[in-house]
Structure 1
């Protein structure tokens, strides 16, 4: 059973983006995320979204993976669109539905916010989809290493964040397995009213919580058995190497950021 999660899952395809140093990819994604939030018009945002689709093609990750894994994200995107559609009262009046009135500003702002969230999720996903968890952990630890001088436990913070991200696809797979088991016992969580669906989720949530605690305990025991100690200095078997491609990646990212910021007004 394969869990399709766009965040926290590594898909090996040996593309040029996979071979980049995790530090350069982390910096590039961070810069692009800032640019996405600062893009102030539709042309700039659509250009960023188009760039995300180009990067998706370069990664060589199958398109069906993105289609399946983006379904939960599209639900969130749809929620923000509907929220702005009904509660943003700007522009000209389009339709009046009793107590609710739809305005042109609500449609425009809803589309803009939805596209911004979708673009941001795509850029963030490239970091985990193209980087092994171990390499990403080492890269983040290297980038945050200067904070150790002011007694910030960067190693523990990065490890905690990577474990949380890695458990997203694991929990999704466990949820799918439990829902199939409940469906085999006659439970129906796909039809009926919203209230009946929420009640039908009760037999699913408790086993999922129990299983999550068991997995966390198993991981803690495995880490202790391998000699993990908080604050201890650790060596790395996989050394990170900064190449010319990483430098050119940051240069190209900086150029894109400059162009978008200049034309964002």
Structure 2
């Protein structure tokens, strides 16, 4: 299941979303992160869901495919919902137990926050699935260029973010290989008490950390051999080309945000 994780992966394609400038996609995602807080009732959240579903279809991605690749994220969503379910008070008392009470405000708030978090995860996943790590690095560097006046190492920061993002699927694949190797040796990870399961994960974490440090060292050596010295003396092989469709995408997101803000209650 870990090998199917979509976080940090890139899937080549020829959709409209794939062909957008990576800077436009990052700006749209940032705007959506703000817009998602405008929804405060069922109509707004329904529009958010329809908007994200439309973007997913435009990117040529299947919702089932995204669901299968984000199953582990469901744990976070369920935890978020349960926290609001038990700790948010107000409204009608639905369940009055000895140790806890569940009230209508907790259910509504839990559903709202869970939907909000799920939409943010989906929209950022669409961004990484339709944008290569190289394009993301170039886009982040271009967008953060004004920060160079503050003597911030913009290029190095963008490079580290891109490398970290690309390391996620690599480590997921490595983890699954180690788990399969340990299972073949008789280790069990799904049976027994919680303590025994945690102890069984120790032979997984140790080789995983060793592999991660080894890969990081190999990457550092490869970059050094190729003469990488940060931004000094570097030019871009790929030139980002801003087109009218990129401006149109940002305007569309802004219009959606204005409409969502106008229908607030």
Report the TM-score when normalising by structure 1: 0.95
Q: Which moved more, 1:194-203 or 1:1-10?
A: 1-10
Counterpart in the other structure of 1:110: 110
Counterpart in the other structure of 1:5: 5
8 A Cα contact 1:48 1:119, kept in partner: yes
Separation (CA, whole Å) in 1 of partners of 2:258 and 2:211: 47
Q: Does 1:144 align with 2:144?
A: yes
Q: 1:79 to 1:112 in 2, by over 3 A?
A: same
1:46-61 counterparts in 2 under 5 A?
Answer: 46-61=46-61
Equivalent residue of 2:16, what SS? coil
Separation (CA, whole Å) in 1 of partners of 2:144 and 2:244: 22
Separation (CA, whole Å) in 1 of partners of 2:171 and 2:162: 14
8 A Cα contact 2:88 2:106, kept in partner: yes
- Provide Cα deviations, 1:38-94, integer angstroms capped at 9, x if missing partner: 322232122112211111111112444312211011111001111111122222211
- Provide Cα deviations, 1:118-171, integer angstroms capped at 9, x if missing partner: 000011112111111111111111111111112111111111111111111111
Mark the runs of 5 or more structure 2 residues left unpaired by the alignment.
none
Mark the runs of 5 or more structure 1 residues left unpaired by the alignment.
none
Counterpart in the other structure of 2:76: 76
Moved over 6 A (4+): none
**What is the aligned-residue RMSD (CA, Å)?**
1.6
Counterpart in the other structure of 2:226: 226
Separation (CA, whole Å) in 2 of partners of 1:113 and 1:191: 33
Separation (CA, whole Å) in 2 of partners of 1:222 and 1:254: 43
Q: 1:168 to 1:264 in 2, by over 3 A?
A: farther
Separation (CA, whole Å) in 2 of partners of 1:97 and 1:187: 41
Separation (CA, whole Å) in 1 of partners of 2:252 and 2:212: 41
Counterpart in the other structure of 1:124: 124
- Provide Cα deviations, 1:226-252, integer angstroms capped at 9, x if missing partner: 111134131111111111111111111
Counterpart in the other structure of 1:100: 100
Aligned residues: 265
8 A Cα contact 2:187 2:200, kept in partner: yes
1:245-256 counterparts in 2 under 5 A?
Answer: 245-256=245-256
Equivalent residue of 1:94, what SS? strand
